[in-house]
Amino acid sequence: MPTSIAFEQAVMTLSPRQWNESGHDMARAVDALEQGKVLFFPHLSFPLTLEEVALLDPQLVDVKRKNISFQPLTHHLKGVASAAKSPAIRQLLTRYYQQSCQLVAAVLPDYQQVLHSPTNTLRLHPITAWRDTTSWRKDDSRLHVDAFPSRPTRGERIMRIFTNINPSGQNRVWRVGEPFPALAQRFLPRLKRYSPLVSWVQHRLGITKTRRSHYDHLMLQLHDSMKADQEYQQHGPQLALEFPPGSSWICFSDQTPHAAMSGQFMLEQTFLLSPASMQDQGRSPLRVLESLAHQPLV
């Protein structure tokens, strides 16, 4: 039996039904988010046009990729198998970005000016499909925190907004895990040491876009160590969460351990954020790891 986490410890439920609507509990939202909680909007849907519903087809994803991804500021779209569908997908992802910005302004106004580097994805594959075909390291049905292997963030936070757009009633089911300080304490002693030389070589070889910092090394090690630990996956602290179609949720995915267990068809919007722009940067993975390691990591 896994150790259970109480729902209230892991989730804050918020009432908005519109992307530009704030509620009475907004002051607490940013605090809950920075604690690592999931902000859950059970009634915040993203209605699709009839033309967009026709885009809910896994065959539209390039076979070499997991998802379709989009950079709203440059309009760069990647991973679409059929060029004819690109304009409609670009329009959908642009609209999701715009709605996400409205949600941030309404619910997380302190973050409005400081979130940067938006990218978003259209996720069309059933989770079970990639679970069965990928290596353990890419298997997101194992609890993990997000870390980008080729794009070091040097401590920048990864905030993600998600919306279940399943047209036939299927929930997206996640597991979420323990608070980041407990997670870091558990795994830090087992993580491989950082080598600046290896980071330099990886950058020179083009394996990473910039040089991997000590922080990025530890976050990737943490990601891998969590996924590789079967005992932790089965018995570690965790809570199952169900996100029905027509609901949205937000979390810092570099902080909140998460695993996607089932579901199909989702929109996801990513923003980065400097720890210095948080209300309490002491809660960022960078500062938590630095205080445990007793040294600067970037």
Which positions touch Fe ion (CB under 5 A)? 146
How far apart are alpha carbons 192 and 53 in whole angstroms? 46
To the nearest whole angstrom, how small is the minimum distance from the Cβ of residue 193 to Fe ion? Answer: 25
Is 174 or 187 the residue whose CB approaches ligand SIN more closely? 174
Closer residue to Fe ion in complex, CB, 85/123: 123
Q: How far is the CB of 169 from ligand SIN (least distance, A)?
A: 17
**Residue numbers of the site for ligand SIN (CB under 6 A)?**
123, 140, 172, 253, 258, 260, 266
Which of these, 25, 164, 47, 162, lies nearest to 107 by C-alpha position? 25
Residue 9 CB, shortest distance to ligand SIN, in Å, is 20
Q: H helices then E strands: how many in the chain?
A: 10, 11
- Compute how many other C-beta atoms are within 10 angstroms of the C-beta atom of residue 256: 24
Q: Which is nearer to ligand SIN, 104 or 260 (CB)?
A: 260
The minimum distance between CB 1 and ligand SIN, in angstroms, equals 24
CA distances from 201 to 137, 147, 297 (A): 22, 19, 19
Q: Nearer to ligand SIN by C-beta: 32 or 266?
A: 266
Around Cβ 1, how many Cβ atoms within 10 Å? 5
Find the shortest distance in angstroms from Cβ 285 to ligand SIN: 15
Measured from the CB atom, is 88 or 261 closer to Fe ion?
261
Residue 144 CB, shortest distance to Fe ion, in Å, is 6
Q: Which residue is nearest to Fe ion (CB)?
A: 146
39, interface contact from ligand SIN, Fe ion, none, CB < 5-8 Å by kind: none
Contacted by 239, from Fe ion, ligand SIN, none: CB < 5 to 8 Å by type: none
Strands (E), the chain: 11-13, 38-41, 68-71, 76-78, 116-123, 157-164, 172-177, 238-243, 248-252, 258-262, 266-273
Are 263 and 185 in contact by the 8 Å Cβ rule? The answer is: no
What single letter denotes the amino acid at residue 278? Answer: M
**123, interface contact from Fe ion, ligand SIN, none, CB < 5-8 Å by kind:** ligand SIN
> For ligand SIN, which is the closer residue by CB, 11 or 297?
11
Do the Cβ atoms of 20 and 98 come closer than 8 Å?
Answer: no
Residue 37 binding partner per list Fe ion, ligand SIN, none, with a CB distance cut-off of 5 to 8 Å that depends on partner kind? none
